[in-house]
Copies of this chain bind each other. A is one copy, B any other.
Amino acid sequence: MEPSPKRMPTLDEVAARAGVSRTAASRVINNAPHVSRAKREAVQRAVRELGFVPNPAAQALATRKVGAVVLAVSSDEPGLFADPFFAEVVVGVSAALEQTDLELILLLANTPRGRERFERLLRSRRADGVMLMALRGDDLLGRLCQEAGLPVVFGGLPLTGEPTWYVDADNRGGARLAAEHFARTGRRRPVMITGQVDARASVAREQGFTDGLTLSGLPLLGVEPGQFTEDGGAAAMERLLRAHPDPDAVFAASDAMAIGALRTLRERGLRVPEDVAVIGFDDLASARHTSPPLTTVHQPVRALGQEMARMLVGAIEGHRPSPLILPTRLTVRESAPDLPVQA
């Protein structure tokens, strides 16, 4: 009962029990060649009987491979990780790693102390590779990884530069779908709520929305940043209404902000979708349950996590770099229905 660090059997004991050399035993547990069938089986039996599990520290020391990767989330807001988006990414990453024998180390690098620990982690080779999310601005975490000579895959593009390994959603294409949907359903006075100005995803979504509008011959009446938060979205919506009294469509660069916008619109007595249509971005679970249910650009968040992990495994195994862009699509619900609304 007492947490006594019970000593586990070692490879030597396994070898002794199986009547072979330590070398042979090692070969068996790594199923390497050059072991006769008989000895192999003897070793396997001994492993089973003793309940032997190799000591990862010893393996790491000998092979210089630690059997773990880190998922680092960097942001200024301590609470940002609480965003369901990240939880979903983690689920994806975890699912992909489950197929391997890599452990997942999670690091929230939002405080100075956190960053320091991250750097230490890299330099100490405690992980075989790194997944990096939510880089803001000219975040130097990426550079740190490069310097440490560890494989890094980015989740979402950083603001500047194009890393060799990354997976991202088609932000620009998805935002364009939103614009086209507005045009198709007869909206004429769209506005937009963006995220932080130094977030590349936000920039790409604004870009894509503008693309789509231009192609449809529509103007963009106004743009306000909303910090990717619900309250930020609500505030942005207020600012927009003040500056542009009569929008009939609003595209928010995230569901959270769209929900905030919904709130403001309701408070101002504007009906959704009759007076103004609303489209969000992400398609989180909560988008299904707003009132009215939110039309939104769906991005495959869990898949994003999965692909990041898979890609990292590839990078560790020495594959050639190949970035990945995951498709987005429009999920139409009532906040911006398919058919033009008769006001």
Contact = CB atoms under 8 A, between A and B. Distances in A.
Interface of A: 1-6, 8, 51, 53-58, 60-61, 64, 66, 68, 78-79, 81-84, 86-88, 90-91, 94-95, 98-99, 101, 103-108, 111, 113-114, 117, 120-121, 123-126, 146, 148-151, 230, 259, 263, 266, 285-286, 289, 291, 315
A331 to B, nearest CB: 17
A283 to B, nearest CB: 13
8 contacts: A3-B151, A5-B125, A5-B149, A6-B148, A8-B124, A53-B124, A56-B126, A61-B61
Given A5-B149, A98-B114, A291 B291 contact: yes
Given A61-B57, A103-B121, A230 B3 contact: no
Max count, chain B CB within 10 A of own CB: residue among A51, A82, A315: A82
Contacts of A54: 124
A90 B277 CA distance: 36
A82 B79 contact: no
* Chain copies in the assembled complex: 2
Contacts of A56: 57, 66, 124-126
A94 B147 CA distance: 25
A70 to B, nearest CB: 8
B105 A107 contact: no
A104 B103 contact: no
Nearest to A81: B91
B123 A64 contact: no
A60 B84 CA distance: 35
A289 to B, nearest CB: 6
Contact of A98 (B94, B111, B148, B151): B111
Given A68-B105, A84-B84, A126-B103, A259 B3 contact: no
Contacts of A3: 149-151, 315
A124 B79 contact: no
A284 to B, nearest CB: 9
Given A91-B108, A105-B104, A117-B98, A1 B146 contact: yes
A79 B91 contact: yes
Contact of A149 (B6, B88, B150): B6
Contacts of A126: 56, 103
Nearest to A119: B53
Contacts of A64: 5
Given A79-B91, A98-B117, A105-B106, 16 more contacts: A4-B149, A6-B149, A53-B120, A57-B61, A58-B61, A60-B60, A84-B84, A86-B87, A94-B106, A94-B107, A104-B107, A105-B105, A106-B106, A230-B285, A266-B291, A286-B286
